[in-house]
Amino acid sequence: MRVAKGLLGLLFAMPLLASAEEVGQVSTVFKFVGPNDRIVVEAFDDPKVDGVTCYLSRAKTGGVKGGLGLAEDRAEASIACRQVGPISFKGELKDGEEVFKERTSLVFKTMQVVRFLDKKRNTLVYLVYSDRLIEGSPQNAVTAIPILPWTHAQ
């Protein structure tokens, strides 16, 4: 019981992160056994900013290891975030705050999206990068959304 309460407490202490839904995928390499290597496009809404959706494209390794979740995915990713409604904030935004994180290898590698608020230009900036326990990758992608009034098209 004590352990269960401790784990529950850890869950509540973790930051609120977005979860992605798959929009589509294309196969890049045929594998005889297991799933093919592919590029996956996923979408997630910023959990602290209403009116913003981000789209990620990234490689997923197939084959037997990929099918079992043991393969290490490549570090490259692309991101495009867009205003999809009126922008409003749910609480205070912290620069470099993690909004999305996904494991890209069994233990040591993750892909993360962090958010910055460029107050001078009234713009939200999203950065995607991959890191490892010991050494990360310099490969990254960035996208920006100017915070503008939302006019509903009729």
Sheet of strand 37-45, all strands in order from the earlier edge strand to the far edge:
21-29, 37-45, 49-60, 77-89
Only one residue has tokens 């100017």, namely 146
Kindly tell me if the per-residue pLDDT of 64 is higher than 90: no
Lowest mean pLDDT among 3-7, 29-33, 99-103: 3-7
pTM check: above 0.85: no
pLDDT in tens, 66-117: 555 555 556 678 899 999 999 999 999 999 999 988 766 555 667 889 999 9
pLDDT in tens, 104-154: 655 566 788 999 999 999 999 999 988 766 666 678 889 999 999 988 754
